[in-house]
Structure 1
């Protein structure tokens, strides 16, 4: 969802929009010439984005704002080409005055030439949409840095917008002052006021060679409260997710007892044939890359350690429970979980070699990162219908129910289930923050970032996300500075997983 395609209508990909919202990752559309089809496409993406968030009431106003911002960005790029061809210095006041006298007429009369030159020289207009931390961010970027004069004029327009109380008043007074060029920005601010915002929600800045115009919107807090409330109700409702079998609970109690000997733990595991089989299969998988096959639980405990064995038991128990709820196992979702677990463990070995706890916890955190989705994916239709009926009785709206069923708030639901199962705090925290590692507490931030990276790599390999959508802070944390470097890591992990 990045670039315009010549003479080809761009189709809307709702799946990418939904995924970006649920993962809090940015959506970006880049154009060099802003043809009519691209403008319409941007409007469609914005409308779908707002609709998915339940903020469609803002659509009409934000559509105007979007058109104003991208048109201004395109005009700024055209101005750079025009001044260069006229051998005028855009940053010189006298040259600026000379150039602006003829800019509008001459560029409109030969607009195809100027648009072609913008594309040739790589001058773009970029729309970025993102939702995180209960806020919506709408950005329009272009790689033409504002001059001081342009920056001042823009802020003068913003200040003037505060003088008007209606669009009619602004149009009358601005046109009378022969300053129609500033009308668009003034109307935009008035549009934002219609949805309860002020000029403080609108920002203009220049960073890294780009001019950025940004609108920050609060997501409807009422909707978010309903989602969180409904998520807690779901956990109360889901009585069909029982605690683990007594055999697993007994082993877990032994592991948590500091007086327990390793031989006692091994004996307790060995008394359950199914658990023994699953554990040995996991220990001997390519994931853990043992030098020689492990043939007994006693050896497994020695090789993997107490914490590692505990996490493996929780992993096996969780997957068996989720697959046994009565419905289809949703092979694709489980395969993604196994892939992210494998990637997380291998990334931990490479990037956190001296941090044993992160290595030990990485597999189970990767495996269960989407537990909230797995619960609904594995549930039989009767189970879902039962929850729907109870939601109706408890006044949880159909819209909220459908959002939760589709995966919205799945991180919170997964964390609540992990709490229900008395999982360690570190696992609960990573499940809760695997889409927003920057929000995780210090104790789980690095592991949350690791699982985030593993999850994004899995989606990157299926073309569900692009490089630009990766969190730059996470890439920096692990020393990844380019897409080429990321692709090499991705290829190595994919090849190794294929062998597993």
Structure 2
């Protein structure tokens, strides 16, 4: 049985001291999850003497979590409407209906529907003296159309250092997720972190968004293939 967030929050300090890997799973975004994630990030980064990254990493983690939860809820919405999300015609029709109908109230309802169907987002925090890794995994795949758009946004974001500038240049063709990707990469660049340490990895049954934050020059990126995980 899942533990209440209030109970989990009280155990954050001992959890961080005793572990180098922590994960939490949810089917919807709410205030309790936000507070827990902020508390966890604050405790880890303060313990590792890198508190300056707290605001940046919390913003990034929240953005990735919201994107993952919305993607899952959208997929359940398509199923409930009897639409095939991989079919271009159904996709266009479904996106219009989703945008027109969806609300905060529906987000709560679809959070419960996702939970009932075993659809979730899992946040993983790995950390060591030399760096930290955050993964946001949702157990549904991304469709090709949306993956292509995400890759394009990631590539385009490399040329910007200011989110307002990115928005003004792309205001006619940038949806929320596109702005989120740009925000993440710009935040990392502004902190002197290589934006290539932000990745989106797609599989047939899941999607993973990963951010790595080096604390020292000794940090070895998981992307290099030299390690499978942080120790």
TM-score per shorter chain, which class? 0.7 to 0.9
SS in 2 for 1:11: helix
- The aligned residue for residue 202 of structure 1 is 198
How many Å separate the matches in 2 of 1:3 and 1:72?
23
- Among 115, 121, 125, the alignment partner of 1:125 is 121
* 1:123–1:63 distance in 2 versus 1, CA, 3 Å: same
- Among 29, 32, 50, the alignment partner of 2:24 is 29
Name the one with the larger strand percent: 2
How many Å separate the matches in 2 of 1:170 and 1:129?
29
- The aligned residue for residue 19 of structure 2 is 20
Number of equivalences = 220
SS in 1 for 2:133: strand
Residue 46 of structure 1 deviates from its aligned partner by 1.0
Preserved contact between residue 163 and residue 186 of structure 2 (Cα < 8 Å): yes
How many Å separate the matches in 2 of 1:203 and 1:178?
22
- The aligned residue for residue 93 of structure 2 is 98
Residue 143 of structure 1 deviates from its aligned partner by 0.5
Residue 131 of structure 1 deviates from its aligned partner by 1.9
Preserved contact between residue 4 and residue 31 of structure 1 (Cα < 8 Å): no
SS in 1 for 2:40: helix
How many Å separate the matches in 1 of 2:138 and 2:202?
10
How many Å separate the matches in 2 of 1:115 and 1:215?
25
In the alignment, structure 1 residue 11 sits paired with structure 2 residue 9: yes
* 1:121–1:61 distance in 2 versus 1, CA, 3 Å: same
Q: Residues 81-230 of structure 1: matches in 2 within 5 Å?
A: 81-108=76-103, 110-132=106-128, 134-175=130-171, 177-181=172-176, 182-207=178-203, 209-221=205-217
Preserved contact between residue 174 and residue 183 of structure 1 (Cα < 8 Å): no
Q: Structure 1: 5+ residue runs without aligned partners?
A: 225-437, 440-470, 473-500
Question: How big is each residue's C-alpha offset from its partner over 1:361-404, in whole Å with a ceiling of 9 and x where there is no partner?
Answer: xxxxxxxxxxxxxxxxxxxxxxxxxxxxxxxxxxxxxxxxxxxx
Residue 73 of structure 1 deviates from its aligned partner by 0.5
Residue 113 of structure 1 deviates from its aligned partner by 2.1
Residue 199 of structure 1 deviates from its aligned partner by 2.7
How many Å separate the matches in 1 of 2:204 and 2:174?
31
Preserved contact between residue 3 and residue 31 of structure 1 (Cα < 8 Å): no
How many Å separate the matches in 1 of 2:99 and 2:7?
29
Residue 135 of structure 1 deviates from its aligned partner by 3.0
SS in 2 for 1:69: helix
Question: How big is each residue's C-alpha offset from its partner over 1:14-69, in whole Å with a ceiling of 9 and x where there is no partner?
Answer: 11111213xxxx10011122221111111110111111111111111111101110
**Which structure ranks higher in relative contact order (CA pairs < 8 Å, sequence separation ≥ 6)?**
2
* 1:72–1:65 distance in 2 versus 1, CA, 3 Å: same
SS in 1 for 2:9: coil
- The aligned residue for residue 60 of structure 1 is 55
Question: How big is each residue's C-alpha offset from its partner over 1:213-255, in whole Å with a ceiling of 9 and x where there is no partner?
Answer: 0011212349x9xxxxxxxxxxxxxxxxxxxxxxxxxxxxxxx
Preserved contact between residue 77 and residue 118 of structure 1 (Cα < 8 Å): yes
Preserved contact between residue 12 and residue 41 of structure 1 (Cα < 8 Å): no
Residue 4 of structure 1 deviates from its aligned partner by 5.8
Preserved contact between residue 131 and residue 215 of structure 2 (Cα < 8 Å): yes
SS in 2 for 1:136: strand
Segments of 4+ moved more than 6 angstroms: none
Name the one with the larger helix percent: 1
Q: Please, what is the CA RMSD of the aligned residues?
A: 2.6
Q: TM-score, normalised by structure 2?
A: 0.86
